[in-house]
Amino acid sequence: MAVGSFLQGARLKLSADLKAFEGRVGYRFVTPAHLIRAVTHSSMSSAHRDDNQRLEFLGDRVLGLVMAEALLQADPNASEGQLAPRFNALVRRETCADVARTIDLGAVLKLGRSEMKSGGRRKEALLADAMEAVIAAVYEDGGFDAARALVLRLWGDRIHQVEDDARDAKTALQEWAQARGEVPPQYVEVARSGPDHQPVFTIEVRLASGASEQATAGAKRQAEQAAAAALLKKVST
């Protein structure tokens, strides 16, 4: 069935899995088609109007506004220099994907066959984009107040616990090395296991000094970040 037809046929009633998803996010859609579009990946759609790409664009902006407002309210005395890294930590792809996992967003994504076979439900970039699309769907369905409430509820304590220097670990490690006159850290894939659709990567990060650490994750970027965080902790103690 074409996605356009699917959307038309689902305007008045959501499937059981999407109704359960509404419960997990804490929002009931007045227009179910908004949610259906938000969870429809481009691999499933033959027309951009039926997938979630445009919603991702909107959701990114809504998320940014909500976070900027929340950070200002959380710490009225913080400078722009303190707020900027906190903001970046809260809206970056890794955080959006992590929030998506807490509500099991991957389970309700509508993917094309090739994307499904390649493990699309677990891909960090895909989850992050879909999370932004869901935010936009709530914005279109219920307005900014509803979207703000959703974001604040799902991000929860992350807003108050984010560190002043909340740069990602790879950036922080590189800046640490540069400040000491060292060349940038080198990242090497030392192992890969699991099926093609669900690979697991082991990444080692090395400094010119010889210090190194390894980490394993289901995505290279996650493994790199984890390895960088571990090495930064080692060399900073």
CATH number at residue 225: 3.30.160.20
State the DSSP H helix or E strand holding residue 193, giving kind and residue range, or none if neither. Answer: strand 186-193
pLDDT digits (tens, 9 = 90+) for 9-39: 445 578 899 999 999 999 999 999 999 999 9
150/192 same-domain check? no
Whether the CB-CB separation of 87 and 65 falls below 8 Å is answered with no
For residues 54 and 16, membership in a common domain is answered with yes
Q: Is the CB of residue 173 less than 8 Å from the CB of residue 185?
A: yes
132 is in an annotated binding site: yes
- Spot the catalytic one: 51, 60, 115, 124: 60
Domain end residue (candidates: 112, 137, 161): 161
Domains in the chain: how many in total? 2
Closest Cα to residue 109, out of 92, 128, 84? 128
Residues 147 and 55 in one domain: yes
Q: What is the pLDDT of residues 71-82, one digit of tens each?
A: 999 999 988 888
Same domain for 33 and 115, yes or no, is yes
pLDDT digit string, tens, across residues 195-226: 877 789 999 999 999 999 999 988 888 899 88
Which pair of structure tokens corresponds to residue 18? 């999407």
Q: Which of 161, 186, 218 is where one domain is finished?
A: 161
Neighbours of 49 (CB within 10 A): 11
Q: Are residues 227 and 122 in the same domain?
A: no
- pLDDT at site 13: 76
Question: 203 and 106 in one domain?
Answer: no
Q: Kindly state whether residues 47 and 128 are assigned to the same domain.
A: yes
The answer to whether 47 and 68 are in contact (CB under 8 A) is no
Among 122, 117, 130, 103, smallest CA distance to 39 is for 130
Where do the H-state alpha helices sit in 92-168? 93-102, 113-117, 124-142, 144-155, 158-161
How far from 149 is each of 74, 119, 178, 221, CA to CA, in Å? 15, 31, 41, 30
> What are 74's two structure tokens?
């959380």
The mean of the pLDDT values for the chain is: 88
The pLDDT, as a whole number, for residue 166 is 60
pLDDT score of 45: 62
Query: Does residue 116 sit in the same domain as residue 188?
Result: no
- Write down the pTM of the prediction: 0.71
Q: Is 122 exposed, middle or buried (0-12, 13-18, 19+ CB in 10 A)?
A: middle
Q: Is 204 a catalytic residue?
A: no
Q: Are residues 145 and 203 in the same domain?
A: no
Residue 138 has pLDDT above 50, yes or no: yes
Q: Among residues 132, 141, 204, 224, which one is catalytic?
A: 132
How much is the pLDDT for 165?
47
Are both 98 and 173 inside the same structural domain? Answer: no
Alpha carbon distance 22, 115 (integer Å): 24
Domain housing 207: 169-236
Per-residue pLDDT band at 46 (split at 50, 70, 90): low
Please say which residue of 161, 179, 209 terminates a domain. 161
Q: What is the CATH number of the domain that holds 106?
A: 1.10.1520.10
Catalytic annotation present for 132: yes
Co-location of 198 and 150 in the same domain: no
